[in-house]
Chain A
């Protein structure tokens, strides 16, 4: 299985901050990388697919980059509704695997 490792596991940030979350794959996955946001008690929500494509309806402050093994999710200006847990997921080969999550908390 391809292992997905996110860093950091958690971070504290303020409204308006630029936030970056990193995801590393245990082998090259080209651009087959997706990002999700999850709030407590809710299902995950797709933000970014194919490493850098913004899902319809997602604010443009979210962006993704990377290819191969190293990927980044960036929130350009953190908003109150962005405090949540973020997950990466590889879609290169089954089994489809997720990172362990990065919790973004209010500073």
Chain B
């Protein structure tokens, strides 16, 4: 059974860089889109971006200038960096597996990490 486990700093100061990592256990790393999604009470669920096993990325244009998603296939891990954070970046951050069911559908997030609460405060 595939599981995602994520970790990273939960308290940041404004202007710092958010850094989270997600490890994939129990399944293949290739053939999927490894994603980051965040959730706030005000804006709901917001897709941040995704990466595949070969390193090809897609980012949300609203965050693109500050986001970097990278992959380490040797460790079955992928990571998120979000620079110059502000209070507006306070959220629960999730990693997720994007699955297109062998090309039969669009991307659905079928497996999620446990979530990391990230607070930005001076």
Contacts and interface: CB of A to CB of B under 8 A. Distances in A.
A94 interface: yes
Interface stretch (A18-26, A74-82, A95-103): A95-103
B109 A44 contact: yes
B14 interface: no
B84 interface: no
A87 B45 contact: yes
A94 B60 contact: yes
A52 to B, nearest CB: 10
Main secondary structure of the interface of A (DSSP, over half): loop
A100 B61 contact: no
Nearest to A44: B112
B67 to A, nearest CB: 11
Interface residues of B, number: 25
A93 B35 CA distance: 15
A55 B106 CA distance: 14
B108 interface: yes
A89 B101 CA distance: 16
Interface residues of A, number: 26
B61 A50 contact: no
A83 interface: no
B61 A95 contact: yes
21 contacts: A32-B105, A32-B106, A44-B45, A44-B94, A45-B112, A46-B109, A49-B105, A49-B110, A50-B104, A91-B100, A91-B106, A94-B47, A95-B47, A95-B61, A96-B35, A96-B107, A98-B45, A98-B46, A98-B47, A99-B44, A101-B45
Interface of B: 35, 44-47, 58, 60-62, 94, 96, 99-101, 104-110, 112-115
Interface of A: 1, 31-32, 34, 36, 43-46, 49-50, 53, 55, 87, 89-92, 94-101
Given A1-B61, A44-B94, A53-B101, 14 more contacts: A32-B106, A34-B108, A36-B109, A43-B113, A45-B112, A46-B110, A49-B99, A87-B44, A90-B106, A91-B108, A94-B47, A94-B58, A95-B60, A95-B61
